Structure 1
Amino acid sequence: MEPSAHVDTFARDHLPPQSQWPEFLLDNPDVHYPARFNCATELLDGTIAAGHRDRPAIWSDVDGVPHATTYGELLERVNRTAHVLVDELGLRPGNRVLLRGPNTLQMAVACLAALKAGLVVVPTMPLLRAKELKQIVDKAEIAAALCDARLADEIARCRDPQDEYFCEGLRQVCFFHDDAPDSLDTLAAALPAQSAQFDACDTASDDVCLIAFTSGTTGAPKGCMHFHRDVLAMCDLFPRHVLKPSADDVFCGTPPLAFTFGLGGLLCFPLRVGASTVLIEKLTPETLLQTVERFHATVMFTAPTFYRQMAALVPRFDTSSLRKTVSAGEALPDSTRDLWRNASGIEMIDGIGGTELIHIFISSAGADVRPHAIGRAVPGYVVCAVDDAMQPLPPGQIGKLAVRGPTGCRYLADERQTKFARDGWNLPGDAVYLDEDGYVFYQARADDMIVSSGYNISGPEVESVLMQHAAVAECGVVGAPDETRGQIVKAFIVLRPGFDASDALVAELQAFVKQTVAPYKYPRVIVFTDTLPRTETGKLKRFALRTM
């Protein structure tokens, strides 16, 4: 590895042994980076050097009026904020800094400034509570936090010695989105004019810059450690080969910047090509479409649930600017893809990625989309299906998804490293099969396959069928224990307005599934519910369904 710029060597010291790393495919012109660079400098200063200084970088909603922050203005704010981090707060390269905030200009500035100063950014979801924050702070040994002032309550508990979630090592918190004298915003604005310049930390390409904790919903959180080169690689593979954005694009969407799906899609991807992004917090399906109309957005990132809910609302808004829509976060049902295409005229770009690999590694767009498939390996990555002995399986045979590429899993001091990375491959935990052309067909999470009377049944496949019925608004399918069959298929269904739960409707839905797919896949138990449990990133909490 290249000599580190970090004074605080915690991150590099706590990488897993290189013998436990997956194989990294770096012999690729797309990811040939110099031995030393800072990803924030490449994304911001480099884009300005390419001629984009006066173009909009980040759009915000200010009192109901669209407001653009140009690349030049963004650079000045980032540089001033970096000076505060280094000169006022005394942070040093390699220190971990907790980032806590919704999708706002201030959150983006704080993230870029911390990266430029050579800090290790640890972004967190706005809805996390003190209990969850303590797990992250303690595991990453975080001494400083940058927090939106409106989220002060939970971080205050972590600073209270009398609270059960007190974090002894968290020595300072600086708030942004705040006009207090000691806020990040006020301190940065008060600096002298020369503070608009900041010499970025001379980081190595393989210095850790990001610890992204997984959005999973069970067990202790896993911190995924990514290098400066990984941040650029996520910008130079899926976007370059599949999304193909230009400087004229306007990005929008719902994933939090604290989630790598959002960090890439709503910040790093647009900055890499000189495009602009709309950062608005707390979007609903209706206000996301309104955002497209008001800001003339051309590229959208969100989860399948939002696309399904937006489809019926499309006629109410002018979405003529929208060119590309990306779905990730959970499986995209065929019915949702069809519904969105019929409503918007846009063929969905489906993708599968993961926090461990930082972003999307399987996808297809436009004419390359194949029915029922997620897509193919993004150029730069290699994928296959393997059996329990890690042997590649032939086309059509279901196995565990295995991935190699320029990014991959390096957990922060976690014994689960050897489960995710085996024999040089990353194992994201998905059950898939590939066809002869390398298209990947998702079946389920590997631990979500339902085995009933010896049959392997994909819960998402049954969900996709049920979603085609006029009565079904949302559904989740899991396996339930059964003495005779081992497991049975159990469906939780949210009904559309105008439909009432009844035994007759249960029988109708069961018959509908039997008529559409193999009869053994039908849900033997159907539960009607008002809502389905989901994570903040939109993923269905299947484990929660199993306990309902």
Structure 2
Amino acid sequence: MTADTAQALTPSAHVDTFARDNLPPAELWPVLEFTTPELQYPERLNAGAELIERAVERFGEHHHALRTPAGITWTLGELRDHTHRIARVLTEDLGLVPGNRVLLRSPNTPIAVAAWLAIIEAGGIAVVVMSALRSRELVPIVDKTRPVIALVDSRFADDLHTVRDQGHPELVVVPFGGDASDDLMVRSADKPTGFVAVDTAADDVALLCPTSGSTGTPKITMHFHRDVLSIDNTFGKHGLGLRPDDVVACTAPMAFTFGLGMLVVFPLRAGACALLTDAVTPVELADVVHSERVSVLATAPTAYKQMIKAGKIAQLSGLRTAVSAGEHISAGVWNHIRDAVGLEIVDGIGATELLHIFLSTAAASETREGSTGKPLPGYRAEILGDDGEPVAAGVPGRLAVIGPVGCRYLADDRQHERVENGWNVTGDTFYRDEDGYFFYCARTDSMIVSSGYNIGAPEVEACIDMHPDVVDAAVIAEADAERGQIVSAFVVLRSGIAPDTAAVESIQNHVKAELAPYKYPRRIRFIDALPRNSSGKLQHFKLRETIQESTS
């Protein structure tokens, strides 16, 4: 089964045809391949039912599902019942019809998980957004996805009321987690269970996911019901390998598709328990991992670095598996954790456009220092030159991927930027060695060319991070009349260290000693904190804006 295109779509269950009406043109789709036995799907498939109903059937109503450090615990049966009741509120009280979009705004809480499952079971399309977004950031998402209902944690409802009142009077805002009479849990309390999931097509759209990348304007990716299962049938089964006795923690919010997979999709499919945490710092997270007996942790490289600097890595000694994603993890951080607690972190690269991880160290037969591994079963990857043709081993180029999930932007002219000759072009520069191992160089837009030298910003960032006085660092290109570009660093210093010329020279000398001297940062700016989005991803575009403002 290959080359699935828009013309091959099966009959939809959607009454509201908005999603299919706004799929990209067929000629701009990537090639989709379903090359393993797990990736063969029936024509009719509801991802919500496949997750919660099948989990109850397989593991039983009393098997664990969710818990929080505050002591809330839900079994699979309880999660299913809440899902059914919320689905009835959506369909019976709020008039949801299949294909309607429902915006979901919440931290990672049990109610949010049930609400997400209810939207999918009811045939709706989930638009999950970061709880940290403000009204002006929500407006373009609402404008583009046109939700009819917004389910929102009551602590974060004000911004959605503003969006509704200033241009979307049709949006029905329903809070949850509070004590108001219109609270979702009050509405659902007396609803019966036994909701029957809508008989959606496997290729009906289930998710509209705003990108959380390093560019300023979000794109909306479109994912089918079968895509939700495909991330488990690739990384979940062949990279993560959860077990029914696992307790899983992940700092990424559900609005970040990495978090959705780690906290909802993979645990439900494996019968593992998801530990839902709300706004914990990396240092606090290390203590939570220890006290809650977490066996599988997934977080960003930044969190691991901060645990190291805080002397908390020993708290991870009880982990069976740890995953890093969101950004490339440096060899220094990876080696430090392995040497300290014997834990070999599973590294990987994913994208909102492909829903989750597609290239991982877990897919490789051995660990090679600095490598991101190989494509997971179900995916294939290539390194393309500027001419769109594969390059030789050892030559950096653009990472391109084909698999069961692919890039589809909602009504967006930028679709052609991420799909080229059927390949999903990720925007990352990699090279591949003779044995097929892939090595990250930089984001394609973060490769610095200085006096003819190609310098990968992440390599310099990782080196600066290892300086004892540095808490966090980011590196970007800065225009220079003499060299074309120079390496420019933004650095967060450890408390008590003066941001003076001596600190600049110390960092520069450190880089010169560790890397080729031409890679050292010729300009260093000290700041209180690096700009990151709600998923922890560094927003390089904001640093570039800072430079532009200072030179204009």
Q: Which residue of 1 aligns with 2:269?
A: 272
- Three-state SS of the structure 2 residue aligned to 1:375 is strand
Percent identity over the alignment is 47
CA RMSD in angstroms comes to 1.6
Letter in 1 for 2:267: P
44, 65, 70: which one pairs with 2:52?
A: 44
TM-score, normalised with respect to structure 1? 0.95
Give the deviation of 1:320 after TM superposition: 4.2
345, 355, 363: which one pairs with 1:358?
A: 355
CA contact (8 A) 1:397 1:433 kept: yes
Letter in 2 for 1:14: N
Give the deviation of 1:514 after TM superposition: 2.0
Letter in 2 for 1:190: D
Q: Matches of 1:12 and 1:70 in 2, distance apart?
A: 36
The correspondence of residues 249-260 of structure 1 with structure 2, limited to 5 A, is: 249-260=246-257
Give the deviation of 1:316 after TM superposition: 8.6
Give the deviation of 1:535 after TM superposition: 1.3
Q: Matches of 2:69 and 2:241 in 1, distance apart?
A: 27
Shift in alpha-carbon separation, 1:367–1:27, aligned structure 2, 3 A: closer
Q: Matches of 1:506 and 1:180 in 2, distance apart?
A: 54
Q: Matches of 1:48 and 1:55 in 2, distance apart?
A: 8
Letter in 2 for 1:141: R
Query: 2:233 matched to 1:236?
Result: yes
Q: Which residue of 1 aligns with 2:409?
A: 411
CA contact (8 A) 1:337 1:347 kept: yes
426, 440, 443: which one pairs with 1:442?
A: 440
Q: Which residue of 2 aligns with 1:514?
A: 512
Give the deviation of 1:213 after TM superposition: 0.5
Give the deviation of 1:175 after TM superposition: 1.1
CA contact (8 A) 1:303 1:538 kept: yes
Q: Which residue of 1 aligns with 2:541?
A: 543
- Three-state SS of the structure 1 residue aligned to 2:116 is helix
Q: Which residue of 2 aligns with 1:178?
A: 178
Give the deviation of 1:131 after TM superposition: 1.2
Q: Matches of 1:267 and 1:405 in 2, distance apart?
A: 22
Query: 2:93 matched to 1:88?
Result: yes
Give the deviation of 1:547 after TM superposition: 2.8
Q: Matches of 1:497 and 1:98 in 2, distance apart?
A: 40
Shift in alpha-carbon separation, 1:463–1:115, aligned structure 2, 3 A: same
Give the deviation of 1:47 after TM superposition: 1.3
Shift in alpha-carbon separation, 1:56–1:388, aligned structure 2, 3 A: same
Shift in alpha-carbon separation, 1:237–1:314, aligned structure 2, 3 A: farther
Query: 2:25 matched to 1:17?
Result: yes
Mind listing any 5+ residue stretches in structure 1 that lack a counterpart? none
Q: Matches of 1:382 and 1:139 in 2, distance apart?
A: 32
- Three-state SS of the structure 1 residue aligned to 2:436 is coil
Q: Matches of 1:315 and 1:215 in 2, distance apart?
A: 29
Q: Matches of 2:317 and 2:142 in 1, distance apart?
A: 44
Q: Which residue of 2 aligns with 1:378?
A: 376
Q: Matches of 2:350 and 2:322 in 1, distance apart?
A: 16
Q: Which residue of 1 aligns with 2:65?
A: 57
CA contact (8 A) 2:216 2:541 kept: no
Q: Which residue of 1 aligns with 2:123?
A: 118
Mind listing any 5+ residue stretches in structure 2 that lack a counterpart? 1-8, 547-552
Give the deviation of 1:303 after TM superposition: 0.7
The correspondence of residues 327-338 of structure 1 with structure 2, limited to 5 A, is: 327-338=324-335
Q: Matches of 2:350 and 2:514 in 1, distance apart?
A: 29
Q: Which residue of 2 aligns with 1:368?
A: 366
- Three-state SS of the structure 1 residue aligned to 2:371 is coil
Shift in alpha-carbon separation, 1:480–1:257, aligned structure 2, 3 A: same
441, 447, 462: which one pairs with 1:464?
A: 462
Q: Which residue of 1 aligns with 2:199?
A: 202
Give the deviation of 1:447 after TM superposition: 1.0
Give the deviation of 1:451 after TM superposition: 0.9
Give the deviation of 1:234 after TM superposition: 0.5
- Three-state SS of the structure 2 residue aligned to 1:44 is helix
Q: Which residue of 2 aligns with 1:108?
A: 113
Q: Matches of 2:207 and 2:540 in 1, distance apart?
A: 28
Give the deviation of 1:501 after TM superposition: 2.9
CA contact (8 A) 1:134 1:167 kept: no
Give the deviation of 1:102 after TM superposition: 0.5
TM-score, normalised with respect to structure 2? 0.94
Q: Matches of 1:342 and 1:372 in 2, distance apart?
A: 16
Give the deviation of 1:169 after TM superposition: 4.1
Q: Which residue of 1 aligns with 2:189?
A: 189
Q: Which residue of 2 aligns with 1:492?
A: 490
Q: Matches of 1:315 and 1:115 in 2, distance apart?
A: 39
Q: Which residue of 2 aligns with 1:167?
A: 168
- Three-state SS of the structure 2 residue aligned to 1:341 is helix
Q: Matches of 1:14 and 1:255 in 2, distance apart?
A: 29
Q: Matches of 1:131 and 1:353 in 2, distance apart?
A: 28
**For structure 1, which segment, 222-231 or 527-536, has the greater mean C-alpha deviation from structure 2 after superposition?**
527-536
